[in-house]
Amino acid sequence: MQTTGPHHNHDRAPNASSQQPSAGHEKLPGIRHVIAVGSGKGGVGKSTVSVNLAFALQQLGGRIGLVDADVLGPSIPVMLGLSTGQPPALAADQKIIPADRHGLKAISMGMLTGDDEPAILRGPMVSKYLQMFIGSVQWGHLDYLIIDLPPGTGDTQLTLAQSVPLSGAVIVTTPQDVSLKIARRGLRMFETVHVSILGIIENMSTFTCPHCGKGTDVFRRGGGERLSRQLGVPFLGAIPLDADIVTGGDEGRPIVLEKPTSFAAQAYVAIATELAGRLQGLPTTVLKPFAWTWETNEGEPAWVESAVRPTGSQTTPVGFRRRDARTLSVLWEDGHRDDFDVRDLRLACPCARCVEEMSGRPLLDPKSVLPDVAPRTITSGGNYAITFGWNDGHSTGIYSFKHLRALAERDAAKVVEDV
C-alpha cells in the first residue's frame, strides 16, 4: 500500500500522522538512543556529518535510523542515493516503512517530493511531519536514531525537544569565528529546552593536499575544541576538508562507505567511537528542571544526604544550600561538597559579556562587581548546567557542572599554594 505523495501546498499530513507520539518524553519503543545533530547556521556540512556519522556508528555494530528533519530543504536522499518523489509504503499497522540504504533506515520529505518540487508548509504542519517521521515510522529495533535538524533555532528544534526523548544533541560547527559564535547560540537553545549536549564536532578542519601532503587551515583550525573548553562540553573531534567527502555526498556515496581507509572516514569512526562511549556512560541520574532561591534558602534540588551514592556522578548536583550570607554550598551525587564565595562565582561568569568568546580573555572588570553581589535564583540549564539570576541584574552566564567542579579545584589549589 502506498501513501499519497504531497503536492505543492500541504494542508494536512499523510494518514500515518494519526500515529503521532503523544506530547512528552515517552521512550520510543525499540530505540535505545535518539541523537539530534544541529547547528546554528547553514553551510557547515551538518547533513554530511549526520550521514557519515550514521554509517560510522553502523561500522561499530550499531543498528541505525536517520531522520531528515529539514522538512523544507531535505538533502539526505541525495547523500544516500535514494530516489525522490516515490512515496514510501505503509505496513499493516499503517506505519511508514523507511527506505533502506546499506542497512541504514532513513526517512525524508525528499522521498515524498520531487527534486524540483518545493514543500510549502506552515509552521504547525512542519511540526506534524516531523513528529510523523519519528513516531509513525516502522523503525524496528535501533541502537541509534539520528535526527538531522535544519539550521537555526526555530519550531523544528522546539517540537523535537518537547515531544521526543532525546539522549542529547551534537553540535556541528566550522572553525571560523562567525560559525563558532552562531554555534554557541544553537548550543544555548538546546540548553534552554533542557537537552544535554553530547559534544561538538568541528567540520571542514585542515585541508591536506593530495599531491604534496601539506596541510592548510583554510577556515582556521581548533575553534570547535576551543568552544567546547569554554562551554564545558565534550569535543568529539574534527573532520578534515576533503574533496572526496563533497563528491561522495553529491553522488550518494558517503565517504565512510566509499573510502573506509581514508583519513576522513577514520575521523568519522573515531568520533562515532567517542560518541558511543559517552552515550554508554550517561549518568543514571537525569535532572529535572529545577529552581532554587537564595533569599529563602529553598527550592529544588533540596539538600538530601540520602541522594549521595559511592558510584554517583561527579557532575550531578543533589543539593544546594546557603551556608552563610556569602557562601553557596553544592552537594554532588558522589558525596563531595564544594563551598563557593558568591562574589567569586559572579567574577567567574563564563558568558560572552564577561569572557571574550574566541580567546577566553576576561572582559569583566572585578572593580565593577559590588562586594555584596549575590544570586537571587539558581535555575537549571539543560542536564548539565545552572544559571544565576544576580541582584546586579546579570543573568546570562551558563555554569556547567564540570566548570563548577573545576572552579572549586582551582580555589582549593590556590589555598594550598598560599599556605
What pLDDT score was predicted for residue 212? 65
d(CA 134, CA 66): 9
Residues 6+ apart with CB under 8 A from 140: 30, 63, 105
pLDDT in tens, 326-384: 999 999 989 999 999 999 999 999 887 898 866 778 999 999 999 999 999 998 765 66
Q: Which amino acid is at 41?
A: K
Q: Give the 3-state secondary structure of residue 202.
A: strand
- The counts of H helices and E strands in the chain are 11, 17
Q: Give the 3-state secondary structure of residue 50.
A: helix
pLDDT in tens, 68-88: 988 777 889 999 998 766 777
d(CA 48, CA 245): 8
Beta bridge partners of 332: 317
Kindly report the number of other CB atoms within 10 A of residue 390's CB atom: 21
Q: Which amino acid is at 137?
A: V
- Give burial (CB, 10 Å; 0-12/13-18/19+) of 36: buried
Mean pLDDT in runs of 10 for the chain (419 residues)?
Answer: 38 40 54 89 88 96 93 85 77 89 91 58 66 87 92 70 81 83 80 81 81 64 81 90 90 94 93 91 54 86 79 82 93 92 94 79 94 91 78 88 88 61
Residue 291: which H helix or E strand, with range?
strand 291-293
Domains in the chain, please, with CATH? 28-280 (3.40.50.300), 291-418 (3.30.2020.30)
The grid cell for 322 is 546557603
Residue 170: which H helix or E strand, with range?
strand 168-173
What pLDDT score was predicted for residue 307? 78
User: Can you spell out the DSSP letters for 249-280?
Assistant: HHTT--HHHH-TTSHHHHHHHHHHHHHHHHHH
Residue 215 near residue 207 (C-beta atoms within 8 A): yes
The terminus-to-terminus CA distance of the chain in angstroms comes to: 78
Q: Taking Cα atoms as reference points, which of 238, 291, 197 lies closest to residue 44?
A: 238
Q: Which amino acid is at 208?
A: T
What pLDDT score was predicted for residue 147? 95
- Give burial (CB, 10 Å; 0-12/13-18/19+) of 299: middle
